[in-house]
A and B are shown apart, each in its own frame.
Chain A
Amino acid sequence: MGAAIEVVDLAKSYGELRAVDAVSFEVAEGEFFGILGPNGAGKTTTLEMIEGLRQPDAGTIRLLGEPPWPRNPALLPRIGVQLQSSAFFERLTAREQIHTLASLYGVKAATADDWLERVGLVDKADTRVEQLSGGQAQRLSIACALVHEPEVVFLDEPTAALDPQARRNLWELLSGLNDSGRTVVLTTHYMDEAEVLCDRVAIVDHGRILQLDSPASLVRGLDAATRITVAPGQLSTQEALAISGVDDVTEGSTGLVLRTRQPAVVLSALAEQQHLAGVQVQTGTLEDVFLSLTGREYRA
């Protein structure tokens, strides 16, 4: 499989601020690629340069083998973009909205109706966009980005400002987007979202890529301790420290917390001693990765 996107030494400054600084990466065809970082990290600027909305100060971009800047009309039907949930025509219904956008790509109204069904908005087809909930508006926005079956789709923080339930509902929709070989690029400032959805994640901060790998490799490479919580009253601190592999023990509100880099050894020891009831195991997360990379707590 070739690369759908190639970015080499990309840079963009606004006055003194280096919004994007020497960023290079490749996205393979059919890959679900995440750009993860806090607000102001340069995610959206990077995305907008790849889409062809902004001219980079330096560096080269190949999108499906072609330069996206200046506006490249041959490329536009091959890409889909979801900018933010409010990028709609005012006072149109959901159906009118997607029909209008579909017609800009020469896509039939019937196809547009199919997409309304795929994102579960048939009930809301005659509702004006202003009356849709945040999650429904995001679904419509995503349907509008996909209605012309683009090869590459860009989703800019599709779950921002949604409640946890609506976010998880949207993940189901998003996770199937690259099934048919479509390339998906997603920006997010949610660690869990990147972990669940993305094949590979670029962690960005202050305009630079800190690390780029699959979520599992990032966490593994972190060499972070696993936290095993044992229910209160099962073990004393001394007994816990006696188990081989346990690095240290603290008393938490939900029980005794054992930190270890050999979770398998510790868990089998706990199993032998019949202390497994109510055990909780917490492995490292991307949040730990961010913490170790930047030395500061991750705040969205």
Chain B
Amino acid sequence: MSSLAFKNLSLAIIRGFVRDKASVFFAIVFPLMFLVLFGGLFGDASTSRVEMIQVGDVAFIDQMPRAEKATFEETFHITHSDDLEASVAKVKKGDADVAVEMRGKTLIAHYTQTDQVKAAVTQGVLRAFVDSTNLALSGKPPTYELQAERVEDDSLKVIQFVTPGLLGWAVAMSASFGAAATLNGWRNSKLLRRLQLSPVPTGTLVGARVSVTIAIALTQMAIFLGLGAAAFGLTLTGAWPVAIPLLVVGTLCFMAIGLLAGAVAKTTEGAVNMANFIVLPMSFLSGSFFPLDAAPAWLQGLAHVLPLWWLNEGMLDVMVRGESATAVLLPMVVLAAFALVVTAIAAKLFRWETT
């Protein structure tokens, strides 16, 4: 009887969820909109080239050997012009990043400091090419050589970083909103009392609600990773499957936060708003929307007391940073501890009567 009760209770909760358009929107569609936004917005950022206008003949570029020209054009997108003044004006307006001309043996680059990264790239790359050309003309073999290798995986793009963070935010929202609305709504409608008076053990009821929430979280994960991989070139690193148990513990932790909101608030809307009030600022402070690397030290320190930061870090470690499976252990312990403490507080504050 109990397993049938479990099945039917779960089914009732799932039906209630999928028929609630607002819940489905906030659990799945809304976070996906951010994924598409971030994936599309920053997807090309790392590949955009420096716009260069070549004024007149520039022997340095025109006579470059084929292989080096190809490398050069990886950095610069070259257009030609014969009008120096017009070209410099274009750079000033920001339509181009640099205009180059040749005066005798001097290569002159007119660049703008507006985009500091591109300005630095322009100067550095041009200087490097000039130096290596001089060296080649002298006929001596180079004494030192530089071989630059990036430490990150080649696939490291913005999508790699935003997917785990946005997934963390999405799961935090749906788990906490769901728990808050269920506890508060069922108490107010007396359904909780009604179920208490049925012979079904409390564990079966709680188990059904928790199972449905975890199933929703894993569905969110599948959709995020699937869409990220299919549409934005997301590639996961080796130990990513351990993100599944991590996400399950994270879900329990945010359910606990939802229970707290549901226990304290008088109305169901109030409970969901309270959960949002906790989760949304936490998402910003936990690096769900942008990395915290540039944030001041005190803020980064503060992030360490937020459960979502631990969930995000754990997922980043195993899903994109290529860390081993053990990287999720500490985050899982921290999240489980949060879940236990917050649930205990919620149980302490819960009142059957709302007045």
A76 nearest in chain B by CB position: B199
A67: CB under 8 A from chain B? Answer: no
Given A99-B8, A100-B11, do A89 and B199 touch, yes or no (CB 8 Å)? no
Q: Which residue of B lies closest to A52 (CB)?
A: B197
Interface window among B13-21, B130-138, B314-322: B13-21
Q: How many chain B residues touch A (Cβ–Cβ < 8 Å)?
A: 26
Q: Which of A52, A53, A89 makes the CB contact (< 8 A) with B12?
A: A89
Query: In the complex, A187→B5 CA distance in Å?
Result: 30
Collect the chain A residues with CB atoms within 8 Å of residue B193's CB.
53, 83, 87
CB contact under 8 A between A91 and B197, given known A83-B190, A104-B5, A106-B1: no
Quick check: is A84 within 8 A (CB to CB) of the other chain?
yes
Asked if B8 and A103 sit within 8 Å, CB to CB, the answer is yes
Q: Do residues B185 and A90 form an inter-chain contact, with CB atoms below 8 A?
A: yes
Tell me the complex Cα distance, A79–B196, Å: 12
What's the dominant secondary structure at chain B's contact region? Answer: helix
Is A87 touching B194 in the complex (CB atoms < 8 A)?
yes
B residues in contact with A90, CB < 8 Å: 16, 20, 185
Tell me whether B199 and A86 are in contact (CB under 8 A): no
Contact A89 B197 (CB under 8 A): no
**CA of A28 to CA of B194, assembled, Å:** 25
Complex contacts, A89 vs chain B, CB 8 Å: 12-13, 15-16, 191
- Return the contact of B197 from the options A51, A88, A96 (Cβ within 8 A): A51
B305 within 8 A of A: no
Mask: chain A, 49-80; 1 = CB below 8 Å from B; 0 = not: 00111000000000000000001010011010
Q: Looking across the interface, which residue of chain A has its beta carbon closest to that of B197?
A: A81
Contacts A53-B193, A103-B8; is A92 near B16 (CB within 8 Å)?
yes
* Total interface residues in chain A, CB < 8 Å: 28
Nearest neighbor of B20 in chain A, beta-carbon distance: A91
Inter-chain contact B4/A103, CB cutoff 8 Å:
yes
Asked if B190 and A91 make an inter-chain contact with CB atoms under 8 angstroms apart, the answer reads no
CB of A95 to closest CB in B, whole Å? 12
**Interface residue? B280 (CB, 8 A):** no
Instruction: Please tell me if the beta carbons of A101 and B196 are within 8 angstroms of each other in the complex.
Output: no
Interface string of A100-111 (1 = CB under 8 A from B): 110111100000
Given contacts A100-B8, A104-B199, whether A91 and B191 have CB atoms under 8 Å apart is no
CA–CA, A11 and B13, complex, Å: 38
A88 to B13 Cα, complex, angstroms: 11
- Tell me the complex Cα distance, A159–B19, Å: 29
- CB-CB under 8 A from B11, the residues of chain A are 100
Tell me which residues across on chain B come within 8 A of A101, comparing CB atoms: 194, 198
- Which of A73, A83, A92, A103 has a CB less than 8 Å from the CB of B194? A83
Determine the distance from Cα of A90 to Cα of B20 in the docked complex, in whole angstroms: 9
Nearest CB of A to B203, in Å:
12
Cβ contact within 8 Å between B19 and A91: yes
Q: Nearest Cβ in chain B — how far from A219, in angstroms? A: 34
Q: Once the chains bind, are B8 and A73 in contact (CB under 8 Å)?
A: no
Q: Contact between A79 and B191 (Cβ–Cβ < 8 Å)?
A: no
**5 nearest interchain CB pairs?**
A103-B8, A91-B19, A106-B1, A87-B190, A83-B190
Q: Which A residues contact B (CB, under 8 angstroms)?
A: 51-53, 71, 73, 76-77, 79, 81, 83-84, 86-92, 96, 99-101, 103-106, 128, 144
- 8 A-B pairs besides A83-B190, A92-B16, A104-B5 with CB distance below 8 A are A79-B197, A84-B190, A90-B185, A91-B19, A96-B12, A100-B11, A104-B8, A105-B198
| 8 A–B contacts from the bound complex (CB under 8 Å) | A77-B199, A81-B194, A89-B13, A89-B15, A92-B16, A100-B8, A100-B12, A103-B4
